[in-house]
Amino acid sequence: MAEHVAPGIELRRSEQPVPYRTALDDMTLRNAAIAEGTAEELLWLLEHPPVYTAGTSAVPAELLDPRFEVVEAGRGGRFTYHGPGQRVGYVLLDLKRRARDVRGFVHAIEGWVIDTLGDFGVEAWRAPGRIGIWTSDIDGREAKIGAIGVRVRRWVTMHGFSVNLNPDLSHFGGIVPCGIDEFGVTSLARLGHAVDFEAWDKALLARADRFLAALDRPCPVENG
């Protein structure tokens, strides 16, 4: 029997790394089924083998060293990296049942990740004009600890977020992450916090109700 985050929202946790193309195909099919009313909504927590993904705004010059497979993701944003030690969350929800606010959806995901990081003693924040989740690195400089990228088709969302628990941070060196080269990339492990997938998932899911409630309200930031 499938686990559920809430009534009508399936929870899927993959124990083994899922190839990115496999996950993308699965998400695409599930997105269409949700839109047609033939499948439940889905929260999918997983890990990928090393891969670089290109969003719809990806700039070829920002692919510095294609040492891993490069996949066109179809989500918003530019290049990002996924790999072992990084927790990925794909969030497939029908916004027709909620506030129909894409910006509010992104804002709510950001808040969900930020609050969960806080449960592990990591202060994180949004940065105006910069996509992602940011924190202070061990040298005191601002660094990215999580990425956000979504796509909405027929008001059904797909893709979602990734959080660096303990990935090989050198793998980010093959790209300009999300097109931002002025800042570094960090992880919970680099900041001195040993957090495995089980602990992360437990903390994240404990805050799922608050995340879902936020989707019933318009985005608290100005539209533009």
The conformation of residue 211, written as its DSSP 8-state character, comes to: H
The answer to whether 131 and 144 have CB atoms below 8 angstroms apart is no
Q: Which helix (H) or strand (E) is 102 found in, with range? A: helix 102-119
User: Please, are residues 210 and 8 in contact by the beta-carbon 8 Å criterion?
Assistant: no
pTM for the whole structure: 0.93
Q: Name the residue among 156, 6, 151 with its Cα closest to residue 94.
A: 156
pLDDT tens digits for 107-166? 999 999 999 999 999 999 999 888 899 999 999 999 999 999 999 999 999 999 999 999
Q: Are strands 70-72 and 51-54 parallel, antiparallel or unpaired?
A: parallel
Domain range list for the chain: 3-214
Look at residue 191 and give its three-state secondary structure. Answer: coil
Residues known to be catalytic:
178
State the CATH architecture for 3-214.
Answer: 2-Layer Sandwich (3.30)
CB 81 within 8 A of CB 58: no
The predicted pLDDT at position 92 comes to 98
* Predicted pLDDT of residue 76: 83
Query: What pLDDT is attached to residue 223?
Result: 41
Among residues 44, 2, 54, the alpha carbon closest in space to that of 162 is found at: 44
* Buried-state track 31-43, b at ≥16 Cβ within 10 A, e below 16: beebbeeeeebbb
What parts of the chain have a pLDDT lower than 70? 1, 178-182, 218-224
Beta strands in the chain (DSSP E): 3-6, 9-13, 41-46, 51-54, 70-72, 79-82, 86-92, 124-127, 130-136, 142-153, 156-164, 184-185
What's the rounded Cα separation, in Å, for the pair 88 and 14?
Answer: 10
> What pLDDT score does 191 carry?
98
Please, what is the Cα angle at 51 between 16 and 104, to 5 degrees? 85
* Rounded Cα gap, residues 206 and 10, in angstroms: 15
The pLDDT assigned to 181 comes to 63
Q: Please state at what angle helix 102-119 crosses helix 197-206, rounded to 10 degrees.
A: 120
